[in-house]
Structures are given as C-alpha cells and as structure tokens.
Chains A and B, each alone.
Chain A
Amino acid sequence: MSHMSTTSTSRAATTTPTPASARVAGGVGGYIDDRTGAAKAVRFGLSKVFPDHWSFMLGEIAMYSLIILLLTGTFLTFWFVPSAGHTVYDGSYVPLKGIEMSEAYRSTLDISFDIRGGLLIRQIHHWSALLFVASISVHMFRVFFTGAFRKPREINWVIGSTLALLALVEGFAGYSLPDDLLSGTGLSFARGMILSIPIVGSYVSSFVFGGDFPGEALIPRLYVVHVLLIPALLVGLFTAHIMLVFLQKHTQYPGPGRTNSNVVGYPFLPVYTAKAGGFFFIVFGVTTLLATVAQINPIWAYGPYDPSPVTAGSQPDWYMGWLEGAVRLLPGWLEFSVFGWTFSFNIAIGGLILPGIVTMLMYAYPFLEAWVTGDKREHHLLDRPRNAPTRTGLGVMAITFYCLCWAGGGNDIIATHFHMSINDITNILRIAVIAVPPIAFFVTKRICMGLQRRDRELVLHGIESGRIVRMANGEYVEVHEPLDEFRRWELVQHDAHRPLPEPDATDEAGVRRPGLRAARMRAKLSHFWFEDRIEPVTPEELAAAHAHGDHDELAGQTGQPAISTSDTSSALQDTDTTSGASTRH
C-alpha cells in the first residue's frame, strides 16, 4: 500500500502543472485535514486495491439500488399522503372520478397522473425495489457458493443476511402503502398470518391494526416503518457492511499471482472510481429505462381497497412469493383446536415458522461449516463452487426448495397458463418441495465432482488439439497440448478437505471423554461433507502422466482420479496438512 501511495502522489505531482488550482485544492484539503486528519482516510480509501470480477458487481447493484430507492423514495414522500382518511377522487384519471377512496390511494393516483414525472419516479422506485431484493439474493448466492462467508467474514455474512431480511420487510411495507385493492389484499394476508400466532394472535392483530381490520391506523404506522425505521436500519447496517469490506479487503478468485495474503486488482482511484461510479449510473439508467417502458403495479387498474372483492391472480411482489407458496401448499388439517384454543399451523408454518427456520439456517451456516471443517484459518481466496461440492449441493438444495415454494405461490398462474388442473399442480408441488431438494443436492454434488474430474483430466492430459498423428505402428492418436502454468494453477490450487476422524471414546486414562456426543456428531457431519472428494493433481501425478505419453492416457475413462472414500486414520493427519496451505506459498 505504501508503494501505491508513493506512486500515485508522484504521479499527481508531475501531472498537475497548474500551480494555482493545485494551491486551491491543497488549501481546501489542508484546511480539512488540519481539522479532521482526513488525509489518512483518503490515503487508506483511495489507494485501496480491489480485485476485478463480474460477480463482484452483484453486490454493487444492491448498493446502487438502495441509493436509487432513497432518492426516488424521498421524492415520493413530497406528495404521498399516508392516511386512510376517506376522500372522493377528483383527479385527472377519468374512470375513478367520484369514487370514494383513502387519501393514500388518492395521493398515489395524483403522483401517477397529476405530478409531472411522478409516474416515472414511482415506477423507478418500484422497479428498483424488485432489483434491490433480487441483487441482494444473487449477491448472497455468490458469497455462499464461493465460500466468501468464511473467516474473517462471518460477521459480514450475518449483517448481510439481516440486510436481506430487512429488504423483504421494507419492500412489503412499501407496496402495501398505496392502499389499492392488491396491496390491501396483501395486508389482509399479513393479518391472517398475524391471527395465526398461537394464543396471542388476535391481540397482536388488534394492536397492529389499531382495532378491526383494515382500520385507519395501519397506513400511517406502516409509513413510518417504511420511510424511517427500516431505511435507518438499512443504511446503518449497510455502512457497517461496506466498512468491513474495506477493512478486511475484498476476497479474490484464485489465479496465478493471487494468494491468500495479497489482493490483486486495480486501485480505487482512478479505475474503480470510474468503473464503480460509472456502474451506478448504468444501474440507475437501466432502471429508469425499464420504468419508462415497462409498467409496474398499475394501482389505478385495481381500484381502492375494499375487503369484499378480490381479483383472481392476485400475486405479491416476487420476493414474497415463496411464503405465499408455502401457505398455499400447506394442507388444511394442520389446523386444530385444543382446550378451546385454535392453532392454525396451516398458516403459521408457512408464514412464521418456515421463514424463522430459513433465517436461522442462513445465519448459522458459516459457523456450522467452520465447525464441521475444523478450519480456523482466514480465507481470502474464494472457492470455485465445484471445489466445494457439498456446500454447493446444499446451496442448490436450498434454492430449489425456495423456487418450488415460489412456484407454489403462482400455482394459479401456472394452471391458467398451461391449462393444468390447479389441484394436480398443488399436489405435485406438495410432494416436490420435500422430494426434489435432496435430489437437487445429490445431482449438484455429482456435477461438481464431475467438473473436478474434468479439471484433473485437463491438467493431466492437456487440451485436445484436434491434431491426429499416426504412430509408427499404425496407431492414430490425438495430440494433447499441455496447459500453460497459469491456466494450470487455477485448476490445481485448491485444497480438498478431508473428513475429521472418529473421536476416541475414552482418553489415555480410559476415562470417557467429555463432549463425546458432540465430537461424534461433528465427525459424522464432517464425513457427510467430505467423504466424497477429488484431490487436485499433484506435480508427481502430472509428471507420471507425462512420462507415459499421451496415448496411454487416452484410456482416461478407466483412469481414476484420486477420489477417495473416507479413511479416518489418515484424515487425522490431514488437518495438519491442509492447514499447511498458508505456508506453502
């Protein structure tokens, strides 16, 4: 870093020949630095090196969406009236003239039809809300599948998960505010979930809604939650999130020259200022163009909220779809009465328990995996997902479950679109949400291992050149070109974790060791994680492969890569060998 700053300052010195402007900048900068010491932060921040990869932009999209949401949201608050008070519409949208409605709905119509640019801002706000949650999700996928959550970034995973949950709640609160028929239907759904809370449901509902549903209390309350409470939390936690990225430095993908103890990339100034700053404008621009041509949430078409009508095909925004689906798929017999109390687990499981479990698993995963691997090292080099088959399989399993629930949330759309029986779709999905995720796990894990075998194959035998050579004995062989050392390094740099050994039941003195059950559990999980694995090619294997010439290796199908079943005795030594990784370089 010190090397960096010296080069950049010397460059600055040589490329600013206009002393007048330099003096002004130096004067202002000096003035501020005298009083704040900001130069240290400038040096720290602007000389920072960031690694380059397209998948690192996913989190950036989330960050920029948040900024767009704050900007457009502020504009919307200038005209939105967060009140359920009754009024009669007299705006420029003719079909609704003279209709009774709430102030919230009327002001949303005004924003859409009578405030110039209001419709655009509203649609940018809604589109970027969808994009916000979507980019958070794929950003989480990237972090999960590459193992970026490992030490020292577990805390940031927890912060990020919290941000994701807050984004869901914020989005729901937002699209419930206009008080149109669709948002009211969503709120009645939320109220049904609240009522299903065992024992106290009706009390909570009465407190939240200020009495009977829908009431007039909720919209102003929801407004404060939406524009003050959650945004404050989002901005605060996001700041912590990004500060930790600066402090811990960004992870990087493995590759030549990249080690666990360096960062290879481009400096914040000028390259990332231009690239990341430019990307903000690209995200904002694309969202704006989307909001220009693609209508979203046309509240004027739904009409004001009234609890007695509903439109078929009512759907929540996409990120709530999985909970909607869970509630659609759960069978009615999960509701029962005991001692005069009704327990509606047909709703509570989908609306309360399932998101609770998913949240807990999400928070717990980094700690669970660290416990299972027994790995206490810092990890700044990312995993290629194929090199962590069990983790990748678990991730795909979770995503599959999520997607099936999500499909359940659109079972009526599927039914009408594909002319299928809604009952069949529901029944199939009921089985599928339980049966398909494990299959997805298994298939994914096998695909990962297949890809690892292919990597070995490439390293050992090179790339098929398409050149056929006839040998002296008449045999035809295809010439394989070996990989160069840079490409090869990407395929051989990783560690293959090995399972932890079965713990001894007793210590040397023959006394039953404490915590045996946990240790056994851990060994069992470790076997589940790492029993099947494929070791990266070693130099010896490559030398052996080369010594034999390519034509021997053509029978590669029978050649076994060094895959391994669990071998507890050997794995015992292994924890030492894997932890030797950092000393290798």
Chain B
Amino acid sequence: MTQNSPEGTGDVAMTAPTQPAISDSTDAGSPVDPGELATIPGTTVMVSRFENPGLAPHVHRLADTDPRAAKRAERQVAAMFTLSIIGTIVFCVSYFAVGKTDTVWLPGIGTTLLQNLLLGAGLGFGLFFIGIGAVHWAKTLMPDEEIVEERHTLRSSDEVRDDAVDVMKTGAAGAGLGRRPLIKLTLGGALGLFGLPFIVALRDLGPLPGDRLSHTMWTKGARLVTDPELAPIKAADVTVGSVFHVMPEGIDKVEDVLEQRAKAAVLLMRLSPADILNDKEREWGYEGIVAYSKICTHVGCPVGLYEQQTHHLLCPCHQSTFDVTEDCKVIFGPAHRPLPQLPITVDTDGYLIATSDFHEAVGPSFPERG
C-alpha cells in the first residue's frame, strides 16, 4: 500500500479518457515520458488490451514422426499390460497357495503376513500397470492435437422461458388454486403436516433420559474393588502415592456392564493427609485415601494419567488437568467442573466402602445437570 501513487495510475486513465492512458504514471515513478506517449496510437482508448494470439503451434512428439519410437512406445504399453496380468496371477495363486499365518520379514516394514503382502502386491500391481499402460498409450500414441469446442450458454431462450412460465400459469389456472382458497389452505396444512408421523415415530429411538445420568451403581456400603481383578481393597494396602482403578463390587453381575462401567469408574489415590488442602475432600476420604470419578467432566474420556509427584490428574483425550490436592479442581484445559468425589470409609473388615453414591452427576455436562 505504501507504493500506491496518490492518484492511482490505472484509474487516472479511466477518469480522463481523452488523455493519454498512462501519461500520469510518471507521478508513480514510471520512466515513460508523457510527450512521447501521446504519439502512440490507441492511447486514447480506455482499456486497450492485448489480443489473444490463438493456439500456440503444435509440437509433434517423437512417436508422431519416428515409427521406431512409436513401435517402442507400443512395446512399452504392452509390457505394462503384461505386468498387470502377472500381478493378477500372483494374487490368485497366493490366495490359495500361501498359508494365512505365514510371516515374512521385510526391511523397513518388519515382520508381516506373507499372504497379505502377496495379495496386496499382486492386486496393487495388477491395477497399477493397467493404469500406467493406458496413460502411457494415451500420451505417446493417441492424437495429441488439441481440439477447440465452442461453449454455448445454458440459458434457455426467452421464448422457451416464456413458454415455461405459460405452462406453469396454465397449470395453476387449471388447478384453480387461486380461486379456491379453501383447497389451498387445507392442502398447505396437509403437506405441511404429512412428515410429522415420521418425526413422531422417532420418539421410540430411546427412552427419556430421566435421572439416569445423575446416578451410578455406587450405594452406601458398596465395596471398592480393583479393576479388572475385582478384588476388594484394604485401606492398609493403599500406600501413599499409589493409584487404583476401581469399580463397585458386583459390576460383573449386572446386565448393562458397559453402561454401568461408563459411569461408575473411579480412581483411588492415597495422599499424605497434610497434602490435602480441602476440608471436604479430607472428610470424604479415609486417612488420605480419596476416590474420584474417573470420567472426565469435559466430554467423558477416562482420566487416565496420575502424576504422583504433583498430584495432578490428566485426561489424555483433551488434556484437562485436575489437582487432587484441591478437590480435583480444574487447573488447565477445556474442562470446567472438578471431578466428582466419591465419599468413602472402611467397613469392619478394613475394606474400603462407599458411604453413598456421588453427590452430583459424573461425566460430561448436560443441560439439566444443574
């Protein structure tokens, strides 16, 4: 923009068509002398432009002039088609002749299934060489003189357009919609509504959400068991700095296992009680052992990574980071809410149990979670 001339060289010519077209361009630093330019014919025309020179002269290929080159190209094409045939045969033979589990070692790929390799190579080259052969054929031996085809506007002629309008008008008049508003109105209503059954019928795609999103399998007294071993956990076995993937006892007995696992997954960690900065967190835990929902409050990935030293939980999907020392509040990433805590204690045998369900909905936010 800094190089723009104050008046604009191109447009000056436009505003003053009687002047030499680019006489003012000297302002912009052009070395053209305006006096001399005036003698150039055509400068009084506003937009004089170059003429399209037409097609450039055609350059013949070697195969067009040299029969030996043409013969060579022909042989090359035939060779490629032959390679394709070989590829297809390789596919068919190795389909039957090679064992499914045979492996072979290839540099750069490693150990790979031999049959898969041969099938792929056979099919791949079988296809590839048809293509290469055909393209080579077209490029060397088929006519390469460009052909000019005229374009025609797609627009119909005015008569045709008028006819079309007439047809529609005649049709509309014949139907008499304009004269019979009652039909028009009811037809509009009927057409507007007929799709409704197809929307209504979608209702039974699934049950209403109810409050299922707000509850999990956890109940008062439910034992915490390790996942996937499903062994109950003694508080004494949870050492400081350790982390357990936990499910409620009986998770393997329910019918909707995956659906329950999706909500009930819990992470159990033990911190030194002095590291816990939040009173509620300490109270809901047991001697520094705390249990938090493993399902991220962002879009519901399992929060899988626990940093022992910093007591941070990291969701590997979108990197939301939760601080376990501060009731799992969000310290980084796209999540908004802290991970819900599961209140726990120990039973008479010293095993960890839940004292209730989560006090709020676990997992990703939804509109009516409040």
The stretch of B26-34, B175-183, B278-286 that contacts the partner chain = B26-34
CB distance from B286 to the nearest CB of A (A): 22
On whether the beta carbons of B206 and A262 are closer than 8 Å, the reply is: no
The stretch of A13-21, A168-176, A190-198, A353-361 that contacts the partner chain = A190-198
**Is A292 part of the contact surface with B, judged by Cβ < 8 Å?**
yes
**Is B22 part of the contact surface with A, judged by Cβ < 8 Å?**
yes
Interface string of B1-39 (1 = CB under 8 A from A): 101111111111011000001100100111110001100
On whether the beta carbons of B299 and A264 are closer than 8 Å, the reply is: no
On whether the beta carbons of A275 and B301 are closer than 8 Å, the reply is: no
* Residues of A contacting B12 in the complex (Cβ-Cβ under 8 angstroms): 567, 570
CA distance A58 to B157 in the complex (A): 35
**Is A199 part of the contact surface with B, judged by Cβ < 8 Å?**
yes
Shortest Cβ distance from A263 into B: residue:
B149
Interface residues on A, range: 35 or more
Q: Which of B31, B299, B333 contacts A193 (CB 8 A)?
A: B299
**Is A448 part of the contact surface with B, judged by Cβ < 8 Å?**
no
CA distance A277 to B7 in the complex (A): 55
The stretch of A23-31, A208-216, A467-475 that contacts the partner chain = A208-216
**Is B227 part of the contact surface with A, judged by Cβ < 8 Å?**
yes
Interface string of A272-299 (1 = CB under 8 A from B): 0011011111111110110111000000
On whether the beta carbons of B54 and A257 are closer than 8 Å, the reply is: yes
Tell me the residues in window 333-351 of chain A with beta carbons closer than 8 Å to chain B beta carbons.
333-337, 340-344, 346-347
Tell me the residues in window 150-204 of chain A with beta carbons closer than 8 Å to chain B beta carbons.
152, 185, 188-189, 191-193, 195-203
On whether the beta carbons of A4 and B262 are closer than 8 Å, the reply is: no
On whether the beta carbons of A548 and B32 are closer than 8 Å, the reply is: yes
CA distance A312 to B314 in the complex (A): 10
CB distance from A423 to the nearest CB of B (A): 6
On whether the beta carbons of B55 and A262 are closer than 8 Å, the reply is: no
Q: Which of A92, A277, A292, A585 contacts B117 (CB 8 A)?
A: A292
Also in contact, A538 and B262, with CB within 8 A (given A266-B144, A312-B304): no
Also in contact, A203 and B11, with CB within 8 A (given A192-B298, A332-B334, A560-B5): no
CA distance A585 to B183 in the complex (A): 56
**Is A562 part of the contact surface with B, judged by Cβ < 8 Å?**
yes
Also in contact, A560 and B368, with CB within 8 A (given A289-B124, A328-B318): no
Tell me the residues in window 67-121 of chain B with beta carbons closer than 8 Å to chain A beta carbons.
95, 100-101, 109, 113, 115-117, 119-121
CA distance A471 to B139 in the complex (A): 48
On whether the beta carbons of A195 and B302 are closer than 8 Å, the reply is: no
* Residues of B contacting A533 in the complex (Cβ-Cβ under 8 angstroms): 10
Most buried by A among B55, B206, B301, B304: B206
CA distance A525 to B101 in the complex (A): 65
Also in contact, A206 and B207, with CB within 8 A (given A116-B119, A305-B258, A571-B11): yes
* Residues of A contacting B31 in the complex (Cβ-Cβ under 8 angstroms): 548, 552-553, 555, 559
On whether the beta carbons of A261 and B22 are closer than 8 Å, the reply is: no
On whether the beta carbons of A310 and B130 are closer than 8 Å, the reply is: no
**Is B330 part of the contact surface with A, judged by Cβ < 8 Å?**
yes
On whether the beta carbons of A202 and B55 are closer than 8 Å, the reply is: no
Shortest Cβ distance from A293 into B: residue:
B109
Also in contact, A489 and B52, with CB within 8 A (given A212-B262, A263-B149): yes
On whether the beta carbons of A192 and B299 are closer than 8 Å, the reply is: yes
Also in contact, A331 and B334, with CB within 8 A (given A281-B131, A313-B316, A492-B50): yes
On whether the beta carbons of B336 and A332 are closer than 8 Å, the reply is: yes
